[in-house]
Structure 1
């Protein structure tokens, strides 16, 4: 049976390529979550030599991580080449003013990291893993490329994200992506071999004057519907009218809300288990 929520990675890549130039102006929530993740990182004692910014977008986290850990090498990874071009464009001035190293840019999928085993000390990912089709596979891949005692820190979206748009869309097609519950994310981390996973949730509500503004912001950050069960072809005026009417039930104090459930998580790759050694003490037999 076909998974209606399976993400078409080619369509997703094309959407983010087109949105690379407009992303920063619209990515208000992504910027806020990034800053909160950086604050959380201040509480972690780590001196990484090699850092992966997985799903780097336009690269602001890559810049911030390179500034914080000046002796580290940052690898900026994104599935969309347009995003990587924006990332690299930030670095001429940072290198001149801050003395930062230019990052390595890698165009690849988080679910298939083309990196050596045990080659990273920190994997950072800000609201990107929700685009994975197989979270178990993604976490297993991340565990593979982390060194023992390496850290995975990420944020992603939970099931309440865009709940108003999901409810208002209705119909027989998928209009909003599937987002995974915090507890299921924690279980996936454990299955992948991570230790001491810590997860928590925060909710944000963005407000808009009308439904078209909601859709316009999603388009500007490249968050197009790439699910297998999406409607094919252009949605007609009838659908947009029904969506507008249904969304109005959520209007509060003159504004339409768009809820985002943000899941924060971090976990460590443990040292490999040592084979057990049993100690047996032999006592000489006393003479009779």
Structure 2
């Protein structure tokens, strides 16, 4: 899987203003992720990897301090800094999760909520995270699984053979990457979430507002025509029930040490 990191950074930077208004799923998954661990046992410092607009950082601060809030998109980080202005024990770091500018063994936990799916080489990412974790530290993260947006993928498949929707790693692939990086205690839980929208265009608008519209490098370089878009929408409309169209999101939640 190859992703265009420059486009990802630009996309999330542009979405910083609209993100919180449409990121209900991200907040729901973030709460579920914290529910998979004993938060009372947390101790700092903690790293929030791909912090976005700071939802998970704020939650973590209630359990342990200090927290390092890291994101590759500076506007996202600036929103987080504004939100957490009254919290003194936060360090803000604009950096790529694939190139952590941190010393070894400095954090007790690394948390990441729906961000690692934008990384290209997860085995390298997991290895670097293990480097910054103290002995006995944990990696706790959520990421999208391959069933995510399956309805949108199927609708585009009726139109052409290009990738219009990002591909996501499976449980088995994530486990393999974690094992390669040296993690031995791995727990995985998968949950399906289904959202509904008044129209296909409403779904696509939401994806744009959270910065998660298609960012696959090497996809069809031609501009999607109006006819192609209409064919995709017509194919998607077959899923409509009770005046709403569904969208599936598969969230894979992992704890590893």
- Corresponding residue for 1:162? 149
Give CA-to-partner distance per residue, 1:58-80, whole Å, 9 cap, x none.
011111111222xx211111110
CA contact (8 A) 1:49 1:73 kept: yes
Question: Please, which runs of 5 or more residues in structure 1 have no aligned partner?
Answer: 269-288
- Which of the numbers 61, 80, 84 marks the counterpart of 2:77? 84
Question: Aligned equivalents of 1:44 and 1:202: distance in 2?
Answer: 20
**Deviation per residue, 1:117-140 (Å, 9 max, x gap):** 111111000001111111111111
* Rounded Cα–Cα distance in structure 1 between residues aligned with 2:209 and 2:68: 25
- Provide the secondary structure at the position in 2 that maps to 1:36: helix
In the alignment, does 2:27 pair up with 1:31?
A: yes
Is the Cα contact below 8 Å between 1:91 and 1:102 reproduced in 2? Answer: no
2:224 counterpart of 1:245: no
> Counterpart in 1 of 2:68?
75
Q: 1:215 is matched with which residue?
A: 204
The one of 191, 198, 208 equivalent to 1:202 is: 191
* Whole-Å separation in 1 of the counterparts to 2:199 and 2:231: 13
Question: If you compute each CA radius of gyration, which structure gives the higher value, 1 or 2?
Answer: 1
Kindly report the root-mean-square deviation, in angstroms, between the aligned alpha carbons of the 2 structures: 1.3
Contact 2:148–2:248 at 8 Å: present in 1 too? Answer: yes
1:118 to 98, 105, 109: 105
Equivalent residue, structure 2, for 1:63: 58
Q: Displacement, 1:151?
A: 0.8
Using the size of structure 1 for normalisation, the TM-score is 0.85
* Matched-pair contact (CA < 8 Å) for 2:152–2:165: yes
**Residue ranges of structure 2 left out of the alignment (5+ in a row):** none
Match of 1:111, SS state, is coil
Distance in 2 of aligned mates of 1:66 and 1:200 = 24
Q: Does 1:262 align with 2:251?
A: yes
- Could you state the TM-score of these two structures normalised by the residue count of structure 2? 0.95
